[in-house]
Amino acid sequence: MTTCKECGITDFPTDYSERTKIKLLGHSLCFDCNFWREKVEDRHSFTIIEGNCYCILPNTNSRMRGFGGRKFIIEFFDERPTIITHNLWHQGEIPPHFRDRLQDEANFIIP
pTM here is 0.87
Is it the case that residue 104 has pLDDT exceeding 70?
yes
Quick one: average pLDDT of 30-58? 93
Is it the case that residue 35 has pLDDT exceeding 70?
yes
Helix (H, G, I), strand (E, B) or coil at 21: helix
Is it the case that residue 1 has pLDDT exceeding 80?
no
pLDDT of residue 111: 67
pLDDT of residue 63: 86
Inter-residue contact 56 to 90 (CB < 8 Å):
no
Could you report the per-residue pLDDT of 71-98, keeping only the tens digit for each? 999 999 999 999 999 999 999 999 999 9
* Domains in the chain: boundaries: 1-42, 43-109
Is it the case that residue 40 has pLDDT exceeding 80?
yes
Count, in order, helices (H) and strands (E) of the chain: 2, 6
pLDDT of residue 43: 82
Quick one: average pLDDT of 26-33? 93
Inter-residue contact 19 to 34 (CB < 8 Å):
no
Helix residue spans in 1-111 (DSSP H): 18-27, 31-41
Tell how strand 83-85 and strand 88-93 pair up.
unpaired
Question: What is the C-alpha radius of gyration for the chain, rounded to an integer number of angstroms?
Answer: 16
